[in-house]
A and B are shown apart, each in its own frame.
Chain A
Amino acid sequence: MRRALPGLVVAIALLALWQTWVVAFDIPVYLVPSPLTVARTLVADAALLGRALWVTVQVTLLALAAAVLLGVAIAFAFVQSRWIEAALFPYVVLLQVTPIVAIAPLIIIWVQNPTLSLVICATIVALFPIIANTTLGLRSVDAGLADYFRLQRASRWQTLWRLRVPGALPYFFGGLRIASGLALIGAVVAEFVAGTGGTGTGLAYQILQAGYQLNIARMFAALTLIALTGVLLFVATDLVTRWALGGWHESERVGR
């Protein structure tokens, strides 16, 4: 909690500055709404924005879950066989380097179910760090421990479960932290693309609509919700990581 304090102080100071600036210079609300106006809009449009938030959160979480399942499965396949990795890795990279805005329209056309198409887009965005980190982690076995397992004639299975998997956990969670943010970005970006097709009802769609109607306050309110969702996701992954790695991992004790 004490770590959050400095950030909170800065946030309050910035909001106060912003409020003063808007009031003092009489900035019109259709250009920059004041924080208080945004807060009032959040309350007034709570039902509308709440529904949109729920859609975006759903897409994000589904995509994150899919990325974790797929990514971990692919990473396991990669470390089981160099051949599989050599065959598939180029396509994983291809997926990673192709901008999602470029493929999203295709996916939205091909996949009839709008939620599913958004989930697919967001999954593609979030997948890479999970694959890359988990593969790296499963490979980065401590050489001494690997020797020890060999000395004890551990089976391939024992070596996987007792050595490779626990050793890969910190890497996996590093990937998860990045992927959680990317899943949200993917969900929002995909919805922007889909929004023009008239299917979206998530936060991105609300931003688009508010933009057309010059309802800048509502735009800011939706933006705020997206940002808050991102922060909450980040905190949640952090908590899960700390719970899973418990007391043992170095990175989990630095400065805590």
Chain B
Amino acid sequence: MSAIELRAVEKTWENGVQALRPLDLRVERGEIVTLLGPSGCGKSSLLNIVAGLTEASAGDVSVGPDERIGFVFQQATLMPWARVAANVRLPLDLAGVARAEANARAAEALRRVGLGAFAEVWPRELSGGMQMRASIARALVTEPTLLLMDEPFGALDEITRNRLDDELLRVRREQQLTVLFVTHSIHEAVYLSDRVVVMAARPGRVVAEVAITTDEPRDDAFRVSTTFARHARDLQQALLAAARDADEALA
């Protein structure tokens, strides 16, 4: 069974904005699928529908019954009044996990994102990238099987972003994880994904699906390989074609 299966899902907001035209999307277990598209094409709306934060206007949304969802927002959204460890522990506290076990698991999750030494500081004492990592630790602490990430590294510099991309791939290797990842960076999409779903705006829709097929390991060498460049060009062309269509429709 697929981790996520959307059939003819659409979203029209109360104010009449059609955020998503009916679309189908399947994500298999263990896959990393990226939603790539310009601002306003409904990437967040789609992710929130999958997470159950937003109700679809029509269509079928099914998430595998055994999936445990972890969600990472575009911002770190940490509680400023709680230290980093308490922030990471939050989902366990809410679920009523015993304090000792919760502490141990939070420490482990922090260690996994490289924040082991920062458990007892305030969120505001962390850099933006570290806050994002704490937010990822909070998502990982529940040992999710399905990770939904909404432009998690969008606000970060490229070097930090690349490092966090690597960390994500590492975590995904260590534990079986399905990832649905939102980005507007072509390079990030190519680097992370098994498959890229290209979206266009007004109204939001899927315009192309590109499988990133390569035997090369995902590392710095991959970033400058011809395979990488070819995929990046394909994606760029798909995005440009969609933008051109939209302009013609407006004209």
Contacts and interface: CB of A to CB of B under 8 A. Distances in A.
A142 B80 CA distance: 10
Contacts of A144: 73, 75, 77
B94 A149 contact: yes
Contacts of B73: 144, 147-148
A248 B80 contact: yes
A245 B80 CA distance: 10
A158 B91 CA distance: 11
29 contacts: A144-B73, A144-B75, A144-B77, A145-B77, A145-B79, A147-B53, A147-B73, A147-B77, A148-B77, A151-B51, A151-B52, A151-B71, A152-B91, A152-B95, A153-B94, A162-B79, A162-B90, A163-B79, A166-B81, A169-B81, A247-B122, A247-B125, A248-B80, A248-B81, A248-B82, A248-B123, A248-B124, A249-B81, A250-B80
A250 B122 CA distance: 11
Given A162-B94, A247-B125, 10 more contacts: A144-B73, A147-B77, A148-B73, A151-B53, A152-B95, A153-B94, A154-B94, A248-B81, A249-B80, A250-B124
B23 interface: no
Interface of A: 142, 144-145, 147-154, 158, 162-163, 166-167, 169, 245, 247-250
Interface string B82-97: 1000000011011100
A145 B87 CA distance: 11
A154 B95 CA distance: 8
A68 B224 CA distance: 63
Nearest to A145: B77
Contact of A142 (B51, B69, B77): B77
A240 to B, nearest CB: 16
Interface residues of B, number: 21
A142 B79 CA distance: 9
Contacts of B80: 248-250
Interface in B61-80: 69, 71, 73, 75, 77, 79-80
A162 B94 CA distance: 9
B102 to A, nearest CB: 13
Contacts of A145: 77, 79
Nearest to B75: A144
B69 to A, nearest CB: 7
B18 to A, nearest CB: 22
Contacts of B122: 247-248
Interface string B192-210: 0000000000000000000
Interface in B200-233: none
